[in-house]
Amino acid sequence: MLEYVVYRISVLLPTLLAVSLAVFLVLHLVPGDPARNAAGPDATEEDIELIREHYGLDQPLWKQYGIWIGKVAQGDLGESFRSRRPVLDEIVRRMPATMQLAGSAMLFAVLLGVSLGVVASMRPNTWIDDAVNAFSALGISVPVFFLGLLLMLLFAATLQWLPPSGRGTPAHLILPMVTLGLPYVATFARVSRSTMLEVLSEDYIRTARAKGIPWRTVVWRHGLVNASVPLVTLLGVYFGRLLGGAVIVETIFAWPGLGRYMVDGITQRDLHVVQGCILFFATAIVLVNMVVDLLYSVLDPRISRS
């Protein structure tokens, strides 16, 4: 186990280095002048040149990347072109909001999606199964931005049950959490249903039922545990998509997290902000996938032995 952890950590650094290089090149090849955007419309050419020189934008690309990655290795992600604040400080300040939104949305998706999938697998080819399948198809099909605006219109503007935007009380979390997590509820429901149908047809399930163990106990204690490996895989795969969806959801609901911060950086051509946020997201995704791989051995001892 320890050797595997060391191996995954050794793979982590080259992966993040490749991500940082790709992001750096893409952002610098996009048309536009970051120094001119940072200076504002009323700035003179001398002001723009001073900004370009201050941030090293007048250097060759290979040298700019070398300076930036060297600072990153020291824990310095640079400073924002617009606010002049350190990007790392802003990421640390906004990270709890994004983690709260992403974590609650994933928990919402897993609990509701797995419950629906298990219930559907216990009643196959019934109206309950058909309803879960219809809900899953609808949840996967509706775009996140449209779902967010629809929920905001219904529960905030029309019914006035929930606040439309911002962060402060638990009520502010409900709409963005549901918006971000609902498509994944549908995915977890479909996957858990198909996996449970396969598991419930196994011989050990029939043996457990023949021993007189209650059906619900067989399903939730024996069946679900053995069907959990594909669901844990989904956790790792969809965590990255969840962070990508958080960028949109945070913008819609004015949620003060990293996603909104990165969108502002993109619109303002703030290179250090965008590079820092993407590097943080990439690090989080790689670490979550490593944790998911380690969970396999906990859920299935055969994987640990192999």
pLDDT tens across 146-164, in order? 888 999 999 988 888 889 8
> For 146-150, 218-222, 266-270, 295-299, which range has the lowest pLDDT when averaged over its residues?
295-299
Query: Where residue 302 falls among pLDDT bands split at 50, 70, 90?
Result: low
Q: Report the mean per-residue pLDDT for the chain.
A: 82
Residue bearing tokens 């996957």: 191
Radius of gyration of the chain (CA): 24
| Tens of pLDDT, residues 5-36 | 677 777 778 888 888 888 888 888 777 777 77
CB-CB contact of 39 with 82 (8 Å): no
Residue 305: per-residue pLDDT: 47
DSSP result, 113-164: HHHHHHHHHHSTTSHHHHHHHHHHHHHHHS-HHHHHHHHIIIIIIIS--S-S
Alpha-carbon gap, residue 54 to 56, rounded angstroms:
6
Residue 296: per-residue pLDDT: 67
Does residue 64 register a pLDDT over 80? yes
Does residue 80 register a pLDDT over 60? yes
Instruction: Please compute, for residue 48, the number of CA atoms within 13 A of its CA located in the half-sphere on the CB side.
Output: 11
- Range 167-179 average pLDDT: 89
CB-CB contact of 206 with 219 (8 Å): no
Q: What are the backbone angles phi and psi of residue 14, rounded to the nearest 5°?
A: -60, -35
Single pTM value for the model: 0.81
- Homologous superfamily in CATH for domain 94-305: MetI-like (1.10.3720.10)
Of residues 205 and 144, more confidence is placed in 144
Q: Where are the domains of the chain?
A: 21-73, 94-305
Residue 176: per-residue pLDDT: 92
Residue 177: per-residue pLDDT: 92
Percent of the chain with pLDDT over 90: 4
Does residue 195 register a pLDDT over 80? yes
